[in-house]
Structure 1
Amino acid sequence: MAERKQKRLASLLNQSNAANLSGEDQIELQSLIEEYFIEDPAKDESDSDEETDCNAGDFDTESEKESDAEDDAAPLIHEEVVTVTGEAHSSCEEFHNLAGNFAFPTVEAVEQFACKCKQIKVAAECDVCPEERRGCIAQFTHQEVVDFQLNLYDEVDMIVMGVFSANMAQGPYTESSKKGAQKKEREKTRVTYTILNRLVCKTTFMFLTGVGDKRLRNLMAHFKEQGGPCPRQSKRGGRKNNTKSLTHDDTNRVFRFIQNYAEDHAVSLPGRVPGFNRDDILLLPSSTTKGRVHELFQAACQEQGHRSVCVSTFRKLWAALLPFVVVSKPMTDLCFVCQKNNYRIFRAANITDEEKQELLRTQMEHLEKVDEERLLYRRQTAVSKEVVAEQRVTSLGPNQPCSRDITMHYSFDFAQQVHIPHSPYQPGPIYFMTPRKVGIFGVNCEGLPQQINYLIDEGASTTKGSNAVISYLHHFFGNYGLGESHADLHCDNCAGQNKNKFVLWYFAWRVMTGQHQTVTINFMPPGHTKFSPDWCFGLLKKCFRKSEVHCLDDLCDAVRRSTSVKKVNVPQLVTTENGQIHVTSYNWQAFLSPFFRPLPGMKKVGHFRFSSEVPGSVFFRESLGDDETEFRMLTDVRAVRTLRDALPPVIPPPGLSRERKLYLFQNIRAFVTPDKQDVLCPHPDV
Structure 2
Amino acid sequence: MSFIRPVYNFIELGLEDYEENEMVLEIVHDLMTFFDTTTNCTCQRSKKDLRTCFEKVGFKRFFERYMEIKALEKSQFELFIKTQLMSFEISNKKDKTRHNYRYSFNISLPLCKTAYLKLCNLNDYKLSTLQNHYQENGLTERIHGNTGHASRRNSRVFVDFNITSSIKQYLTQYGIINGLPSPMRHRNDSRNFIYLPTGENYMIVYNKYKENFYLEHDDKDEKIISYSTFRRIWQETIPTLKFQPPASDICETCNDFKSQIRIAKSNLDQYYIIKNQYDEHQKKADLERQHYNNNIEQSKHDLSIAHICYDWAQNVTIPYSLQQVGSIYFKSTFAVHLFGVCKTEDGLN
TM-score past 0.5 threshold: no
**Bigger relative contact order (CA 8 A; separation at least 6):** 2
Give TM-score scaled by structure 1 length: 0.18
**Max Rg structure:** 1
TM-score, with structure 2 as normaliser: 0.33
